[in-house]
Structure formats: structure tokens, C-alpha cells
Amino acid sequence: MLFNEKEVKNKKKSRKRWRITVLLVAMLIALTFYPLPSQKPIQFYDRDNGQLKTEKVAGEQWLVWLYNNPVGEATLWALAKRKIVSSIYGNAMDNASSAEKIEPFIQDFNIDMSIAQEHTFNNFNDFFTRKLKKGVRPIDPDSTVAVSPADGKILAYANISNSDFFIKGYRFDVTSFLDQPELAKKYQNGSLLIIRLAPPDYHRYHFPVSGNTSPNKKIEGDYYSVNPLALRKKAEIFWLNKREYALISNPIFGEVTMAEVGATMVGSMIQTFKGNSAIKGEEKGYFKFGGSTVVLLFEKGKIEIDKDLLLNTSKGFETTVKMGEKIGSQP
């Protein structure tokens, strides 16, 4: 009799556990397909013609799901922001089989390959880190001019201490970003420029001014996406992600910080510059696969940022820039 009672109780417990398991699985499935909020398109100004355009985002649905769905956010915390995931995917782009992705990618994003040095690539990263022909990105030779360090879309802030970041209420935390409180003080009320490189962009970065350079400082961190779709939900990404920076000492522009920020699926940042004195426009390094960002910090009163960049930023829009073109000058 006792044995039968225990057996009945065990069966009830088992059925209860089964119901709970089914309920949890059902909730997980429901949350996975949880309706995603509609997203404002990413719009930017084309600097060449002044037109407002809409960006085509690589992996848009994946990004929206990661940053706006409860299961997606859990996946982001558990996996997507981790180095191992970005490393695995980045390494996959080094595999010869990844070369088959190149042509569809070129066609999908209408990439101008006429300016590339090479047209045959061993793998996707080989294509992604392609060099450009000499002369297609002329460097403004004026020593009183600072140039864009990369192709991309730029946000510009004349006074960082007064500037809201992507999301209202968030400000760019220079101290956390640099991980050096004393150095951060140097940029109090200084200027900030953020150049975002999307996957279709040319992914080598160059010095914005000439000068003596410091060794690169590496700061370990996460691998969140730097796409505006992600930044709308998590503006502090810039001081959470892996980053590297060097100081450039220039007689006109003072001590300029140039930082490279990693992102989801960026295999690595490769620093190709080996000297201690750089020439404006000289290559500093390149990003392997993924979207990424270059950040420039100028001391107070050391740069007058171009008015069109400031105006577009004040309206909440990025502006396209090409490596080597003027972004600011001596005040």
C-alpha cells in the first residue's frame, strides 16, 4: 500500500515537472518569435551631394532580434558579445571556402571594385581588408587640416562635455573609454569624432594628422555591435568593447587620441604601423571581418570641426566621409 502511495506521488511529481518543462519550452518559443518593434531606418547625409539617404544594413534582422527580443538579449549576453564567437566567425572568414561569399556581397552592397588594388582574393578577409589604388583617396596636404582616418559615416561633437550621445541622457564617458583618468582630464571640454565603418566599407585606417606617436594601449572588452540599431539600446558599447588607442603629438592639433573599437564578428584589429613618427594619411592598421569604429579625441580649442559635420550631427544624422578628406582645421 505504501509502495503504491509513493508510486502515485512520484507519478504526480513527474507529471508536474513535465507540465513545467512544456510550459517553459512554450514560453521560450513564444519569446523567440516575440514581435519585434519597428525600427527607424538608419539615415545619413551623403557628403558628396548633400542628400539624405537610408543605409542598407548587413544582418539587420539579426541585430534587431539580438537587441530587442528577450531571447535575443539573453543570447547576446551569453554568446554574441563574447570573444570566442567573434573569433570563430572571424577565423571562418580566413577559410578558403569563404571566398564564395565575396561576389554576392559585392553585388548586394554595390561595392566599387574599380578602386581596389587587387581583384582576386583567397578568402573573405582577404577581400574585406583589400587595399585601394594609390591616388583614389587623396590626402589633404595642408598641415593645418585634419583628415578622416577611414571611409565611413561620421558623428562630430565640438564640445564633448555638452554633447548628448546616441541616446538622450547618455554622454560619452571619456574616462571609461580611455581607462586612464589623468589622460581623460586632458580632453575635458574637448572635441570628439566617431567614424563608423560598415561591413561594405574600406576597412583600413590611417593617421588623421602627422606627429610623434605613442605605443598602442590595448583594453580588453566585449564584442557588441557598433551599428546604430544596437547603440539605440546600449549607448555605452564604446567603453565596454575591446579597443586600442595611440596618442599623436602634433604642434598644431596638440595630443590627439586615435582609437580603434572592435565589434561583433570582428576577428581582430591588426596594427601595421611600427614606427614612432607618423605622416598624415599613413596606414595605421586594419580591421578584419565585421563593422567597426575609429574614435578621435582632440583637446579643447585644438580643432575647428567642419560645420556640415556638426550640423548633421546636431540633427541626429551621420555624414559619409572618405579617408583623407578634410574633417577639421586649425581654429
pLDDT value for 38: 56
Q: How far apart (Å, rounded) are the C-alpha atoms in residues 6 and 27? A: 31
Element (H, E) at 108: helix 102-109
Catalytically annotated residue among 86, 225, 292, 306 = 292
pLDDT value for 66: 43
CA dihedral 300, 305, 309, 315 (to 10 degrees): 40
In a domain, 98, yes or no: no
Distances (CA, A) of 210 to 2, 141, 220, 245, 296: 88, 11, 27, 16, 14
In a domain, 12, yes or no: no
Q: How far apart (Å, rounded) are the C-alpha atoms in residues 109 and 119? A: 16
Max CA distance (Å), the chain: 97
pLDDT (tens place) for every residue of the chain, 331 residues total:
444 555 655 555 566 555 555 444 444 454 445 554 555 677 899 999 999 998 776 544 544 434 444 444 444 444 444 454 545 556 677 889 989 989 998 998 899 999 999 999 999 889 989 999 999 999 999 999 999 999 999 989 998 875 444 433 446 678 888 889 899 999 988 999 999 888 889 999 999 999 999 999 988 765 554 444 444 445 555 556 678 999 999 999 999 999 998 765 554 788 999 999 999 999 999 988 765 889 999 999 999 999 999 999 989 899 999 999 999 999 9
pLDDT value for 242: 77
Whole-model pTM over 0.85: no
In a domain, 184, yes or no: yes
In a domain, 206, yes or no: yes
Range of the structural domain that residue 228 is part of: 124-329
Per DSSP (E only), the strands in the chain are 43-45, 52-54, 145-147, 152-157, 191-197, 204-206, 211-213, 217-219, 243-250, 254-261, 269-271, 277-278, 283-287, 292-298, 304-305, 318-321, 326-329
- Residue 122's identity, in one-letter code, is N
User: What are the φ and ψ backbone dihedral angles of 196, each rounded to 5 degrees?
Assistant: -95, 125
Query: What total of structural domains would you count in the chain?
Result: 1
| HSE, side-chain direction, 13 A CA sphere, residue 133 | 9
Task: Establish whether 119 is a catalytic residue.
Answer: no
In a domain, 307, yes or no: yes
Catalytically annotated residue among 98, 206, 210, 225 = 206
Say if strands 191-197 and 152-157 run parallel, antiparallel, or are unpaired: antiparallel
Say if strands 283-287 and 304-305 run parallel, antiparallel, or are unpaired: unpaired
Task: Establish whether 151 is a catalytic residue.
Answer: yes
Joined grid coordinates for residue 4: 503504491
pLDDT value for 196: 87
- Predicted confidence (pLDDT) per residue in 19-33, tens digit: 555 444 444 454 445
Task: Establish whether 292 is a catalytic residue.
Answer: yes
Contact 299, 254 (CB under 8 A): yes
pLDDT value for 100: 92
pLDDT value for 257: 97
- Residue 239's identity, in one-letter code, is W
Catalytically annotated residue among 86, 148, 151, 268 = 151
- Residue 116's identity, in one-letter code, is A
